[in-house]
Amino acid sequence: MAKTTAKPAPEKAKPKKVAAKSKSASVNIEKASEEALAKLKALAIEPQLQADIEWCIGSYRADKNPIGLFDVVGHALTIFKGELKKKTKGITPKLIGDLEKALLAK
């Protein structure tokens, strides 16, 4: 009798891993809030908003709930839009666009 070669078992299809949307949205809003905070500090405006952003970043890192970050970034966005109209140096349409993009990722 002739030997038969064993056929390898067909490989099972591995499920593709898809990154969770909420995690990437949270990372984007965290990055956006840090950018907003840095810009507010550089311009030395809105000290209360700076404190709120710092508190929300700390809170987010503790419990991973980004709701507060969305609120304070939204407020910072309105401040930056007003500063853009005043032609404040350092406020760019790209910064505003990045903040809007992070808010839309909700």
Tokens of 95: 């910064």
Determine if the pTM surpasses 0.75. no
Write down the residue that tokens 């990045």 correspond to: 98
Q: pLDDT higher for 91 or 10?
A: 91
| DSSP assignment string, 56-98 | HHHHHHHH--THHHHHHHHHHHHHHHHHHHTT-TT--HHHHHH
Q: What is the DSSP letter of 42?
A: H
Q: What is the pLDDT of residue 17?
A: 52
Tens digit of each residue's pLDDT (9 = 90 or more) over 9-66: 666 655 555 444 456 666 799 999 999 999 999 999 999 999 999 999 999 999 999 9
If you compute the radius of gyration of the chain from its CA atoms, what whole number of angstroms results?
23
Residue 72: CB atoms within 10 Å: 22
Q: pLDDT higher for 81 or 10?
A: 81
* Integer angstrom CA distances of residue 33 from 11, 19, 23, 91: 45, 22, 15, 15
Q: What span, in angstroms and rounded, lies between the C-alpha atoms of 24 and 56?
A: 18
Q: Which amino acid is at 91?
A: I
Confidence tier at 7 by pLDDT (50, 70, 90): low
Domain ranges of the chain: 21-104
